[in-house]
Amino acid sequence: MEKFVELFDTTLRDGTQGEGISLTVRDKIQICHKLDDFGIDIIEGGWPGSNPRDAEFFTAVKNENFLHSKLCAFGSTARYPNKIDSDPNLLALLKAETPYVSIFGKTWRFHSQKSLGLSDEENEELIYKSVKFLKSFGKKVIFDAEHFFDGFKDDENFALKMLKAAELAGAETIVLCDTNGGSLPSEISFAIEKVKTEIKTPIGIHAHNDGDLAVANSLIAIENGAVHVQGTINGVGERCGNANLISIIPNLILKMNYKTKKKINLQSLTLLSNSVSEMMNLNPNSRAPFVGKSAFAHKGGIHVSAVLKDSKMYEHLDPKLIGNSQRVLVSDLSGQSNIKYKAKELGVEIDESSEFSKKLVSKIKELEFQGYQYDGAEASFELILMNEKNEFSPFFKTIDSKVYTFFDNEQHKQAEAVLKIEVNGEIEHTAAEGDGPVNALDNALRKALLRFYPELTDTKLVDYKVRVLDEKEATAARVRVLIESSDGLETWTTVGVSTNIIEASWQALCDGLNYKLYKLNKMIKVNPQKNN
């Protein structure tokens, strides 16, 4: 018998309660379309009774068409049992005009008494009447049993009585919430087994990640009978976040053999994760399971040797299934297998004999011992590889460089770089100002090179990171600089190391522009010196 689970996304509501996350109405609508394309069943768009932006969203989204996903507005039960018909929160839910509404009610006596000042009977009446009111307007009601697992541990009879009130009123789904995120999988399992003996309405799970168990708790809930799972894309949400649908979904489909109402194209999982991160102005988590850049990255030489024979030795699934890709890193932990893999990945033919690989591995290990890092600076590694093959030499030579910085008590700051470089036997002497010494160097170098290589016009420095390597050496410590460059189409990272931060930055800057020129030269297969 096939097992189905309903996917409920609350990125646009619970997810936006995460620290540092803010979405415009347009952002929320665009994410809705991405979730619809992916195959999410129900999208919780926000709480229309709590803020003007969510109210505006539900007005704007009425003009949008979705192929599969159904929209849901979120709110709470009414505040007073005798004022259901005039409760502003319930009326706002009706005004949103969504086919689904989700409302939360107290299932932990501690909250209903301390927070709302309600007796058990009054709390039960609020839940029943609120659900019944919304049902009378044709809404499909999802009841979120807030703090259910804490309430169940405190007094299971009270918690179950509140669930029965929602069931009796006609709720489509009763969602058990681990609102504080502190429950263990064994506690989730035990509670659900008890709920199933008392409740016949379909059960859902809503887990938070305060104990780093939200995904595990969601999966164990489904394994024990829940048929509806709530979460957010990338696990964003208040405090430590919500259950991460990006991890839940492939586990359900690929490992637990569950079906979803709409067949999901798992190969778009990584793209969905990265797209939502981008729209939230968040850097994608490189170590995120399944979709992270490092999720299928191999660094140790023994690991790489095994992966080249059969990737199942060190990968729990084929990364292509979820739109990710295998990567092999080059570092001081590398073996010959790493070098051969990277060369093949870069489309570089190397001597099949082991001598070349041994020599290159030895060189990389020595450089990394000095502080260089090539698993995060693959452009610099490629230049080293091609240099060892005698197929690359720098496109310019530094004759002299000077950097001046000026600042005073009035906070007037200025930096100037003076450069003398040689290209094809010609000397170019130039100067440029910048916001700081590195920016001034960057501006001066580009200014000097553009006469010879106008194709560098669109190449920009887009990220700059500094890491102190020998903290105990204080200001005499070596630093590692990673620079990310882009031409608008591709990005690449280069590295420099020195006790002088300016020199380390200069190394990375030069590698970045040399790499761009090398790739152009490789692409057109013409010596750029003859081209100028």
For 352, which DSSP code? S
State how far the alpha carbon of 135 is from the alpha carbons of 105, 125, 231, in Å.
16, 15, 24
**Which CATH number is associated with domain 396-452?**
3.30.160
DSSP 269-336: HHHHHHHHHHHTT----TT-TTTSTTTTEE-SHHHHHHHHH-GGGT-SS-GGGGT---EE--STT--H
| Dihedral pair phi/psi, residue 350, rounded to 5° | -125, 160
Q: Determine the pLDDT at residue 128.
A: 97
The Cα–Cα gap between 502 and 515 comes to 20
Lowest mean pLDDT among 196-200, 338-342, 359-363: 338-342
pLDDT at 532 over 60: no
Backbone angles phi, psi at 283, to 5 degrees: -75, 130
What local confidence, expressed as pLDDT, does residue 82 receive?
A: 87
- Of 3.30.2010.10, 3.20.20.70, 3.40.50.2300, 3.40.718.10, the CATH number of 3-279 is 3.20.20.70
What kind of fold does domain 458-532 have according to CATH? Double Stranded RNA Binding Domain (3.30.160)
Average pLDDT over residues 409-416: 72
Res. 301: pLDDT tops 60: no
Structural contact between residues 12 and 46, judged by C-beta atoms closer than 8 angstroms? yes
Q: What is the pLDDT of residues 224-281, one digit of tens each?
A: 999 999 999 999 999 999 999 999 999 999 999 999 988 898 999 998 998 898 888 7
**To the nearest whole number, what is the mean pLDDT of the chain?**
87
Q: Name the more confident of 179 and 2.
A: 179
pLDDT value for 477: 75
Least confident of 128-137, 175-184, 198-207, 342-351: 342-351
Mean pLDDT confidence for 11-25:
93
Q: What are residue 383's phi and psi, to 5 degrees?
A: -65, -40
- CA–CA distances in Å: residue 264 to residues 41, 134, 254, 255, 269: 11, 31, 12, 15, 9
Question: Quick one: tokens of 148?
Answer: 């259910």
Tell me where in the chain the CATH 3.20.20.70 domain(s) lie.
3-279
Count of alpha carbons within 13 Å of 402, Cβ hemisphere only? Answer: 6
Span 85-104, mean pLDDT?
96
105 contacts 147 by C-beta, under 8 angstroms: no
CA distance 87 to 94: 11
Cβ–Cβ < 8 Å for 360, 354: no
Beta-strand pair 140-146/100-106: parallel
| Per-residue pLDDT at 388 | 78
Residue 204 contacts residue 172 (beta carbons within 8 Å): no
CATH 3.30.160.340 in the chain is located at 458-532
Q: How confident is the model at residue 370 (pLDDT cuts 50, 70, 90)?
A: confident
User: Under DSSP, is residue 105 helix (H, G, I), strand (E, B) or coil?
Assistant: strand
More confident position, 180 or 519? 180
Percent of the chain whose pLDDT exceeds 90: 56
